[in-house]
């Protein structure tokens, strides 16, 4: 699957549809302010959808902070933001999908092996 390279616009309904209603089957991870789900559009584009749980204290502030940081940061080792969807009841970030998971998962998982190049 090629990486997403262009900005796209998504409606809240479309994001709900492509994640099967944010089902557990598409759940990648769950954090303090929300959950991340895998999504695919027409078998051509894979991405992650971070849904903020607005009933959690601090979720609004976290959404605003992540939007500001991610739109102003560009580095090859950081996930890219593709889009966002926001209204009073629903806040979502659409992010680049990382098929091998997060660095944290690789560092702290017994199922993941990192290979280091011999520099000597």
Average pLDDT over residues 55-82: 85
Q: What is the pLDDT of residue 113?
A: 65
Question: pLDDT tens digit string along 31-57?
Answer: 888 899 999 887 778 899 999 988 888
CATH code of the domain containing 98: 3.30.200.20
Question: pLDDT tens digit string along 97-118?
Answer: 888 777 777 777 777 666 666 6
Number of domains in the chain: 1
Residue 21 has pLDDT above 70, yes or no: yes
Residue 4 has pLDDT above 50, yes or no: no
Q: What is the pTM of this model?
A: 0.75
CA distance 2 to 7: 14
Q: Look at residue 115 and tell me if it is in a domain.
A: no
Strands, sheet with 81-87, edge to edge from the N-terminal-most edge strand? 27-30, 34-41, 45-52, 90-96, 81-87
Q: Look at residue 6 and tell me if it is in a domain.
A: no
Q: Look at residue 63 and tell me if it is in a domain.
A: yes
């Amino acid at each position: 699957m090629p990486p997403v390279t262009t900005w796209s616009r998504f409606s809240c309904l479309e994001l709900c549809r492509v994640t099967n209603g944010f089902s557990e089957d598409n759940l990648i991870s769950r954090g303090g302010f929300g959950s991340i789900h895998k999504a695919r559009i027409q078998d051509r584009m894979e991405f992650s959808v971070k849904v903020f749980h607005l009933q959690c204290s601090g979720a609004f502030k976290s959404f605003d902070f992540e939007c500001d940081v991610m739109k102003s940061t560009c580095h090859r080792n950081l996930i890219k933001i593709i889009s966002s969807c926001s209204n009073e009841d629903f806040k979502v970030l659409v992010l680049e999908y990382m098929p091998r998971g997060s660095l944290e998962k690789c560092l702290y998982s017994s199922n993941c092996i990192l290979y280091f190049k011999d520099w000597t």
